[in-house]
Amino acid sequence: MTAQEGTFLIHSHRPAPDGCRRIAPILARIGDKWSILIIILLGDGPMRFNELRRKIGGVSQRMLTLTVRGLERDGFLKRTVFPTIPPRVDYELTPLGRSMLQPIQQLGIWATNNVDVIEDAQRRYDKAAGRQTKGPAARESSKSTV
């Protein structure tokens, strides 16, 4: 493994060369913003596609479709099609998907507890780099919708 490929540290803090390659796609799937939101929402029980889309807000139909397909492929959720007209499709978490709820909630708690420290660090960095700092209101207005 080259230095550019990186390493994955296991509990003993020794590099695990194949660890990165194997878990990178998993971390990419569960680390994207849409997957996190879908897992959180489905934690309350099964939902239809359009219900998920409404509750998430700002996600395109295509992006939601790609995300739920990926989560289904990875075993995080189950898709059930009911033979009605029009067909009804529900999504629900699998046991593997449910096992992600606690770590996601803990990450959310950590982010909430540290948001002020992180924003302060960003302001200091931007000031040192000669950049104009954006406050929360400016960040919100500069976000684009998907």
Domains of the chain, with CATH numbers? 3-142 (1.10.10.10)
Chain centroid to CA 118: how far? 19
Confidence (pLDDT) at 113: 96
Confidence (pLDDT) at 15: 55
pLDDT digits (tens, 9 = 90+) for 81-94: 999 998 899 999 99
Confidence (pLDDT) at 92: 97
Confidence (pLDDT) at 146: 39
pTM for the model stands at 0.69
- Tell me what the mean pLDDT of segment 108-128 comes to: 95
Residue 130 confidence (pLDDT) above 70: yes
- Tell me what the mean pLDDT of segment 101-120 comes to: 93
| Integer CA distances (angstroms), 97 to 21, 43, 64, 76, 106, in order | 22, 9, 17, 4, 15
What share of the chain has pLDDT > 90, as a percent?
A: 61
Between these two residues, 31 and 38, which has the higher pLDDT value? 38
Q: What is the band of 32 on the pLDDT scale with cuts at 50, 70, 90?
A: confident
pLDDT digits (tens, 9 = 90+) for 43-92: 999 999 999 999 999 999 999 999 999 999 999 999 999 999 988 999 99
The Cα 2–Cα 36 span in angstroms is: 31
Closest CA to 91 of 119, 129, 50: 50
Between these two residues, 73 and 134, which has the higher pLDDT value? 73
What string of H, E and C letters represents the secondary structure of 41-75? HHCCCCEEHHHHHHHHCCCCHHHHHHHHHHHHHCC
Q: How many CB atoms lie within 10 A of CB 32?
A: 14
47: left (phi over 0), alpha (psi -120 to 50) or beta: beta
The Cα 90–Cα 54 span in angstroms is: 14
- DSSP H or E segment with residue 83: none
Single-letter residue type at 78? K
Four-CA torsion 116, 121, 126, 127, nearest 10 degrees: 100
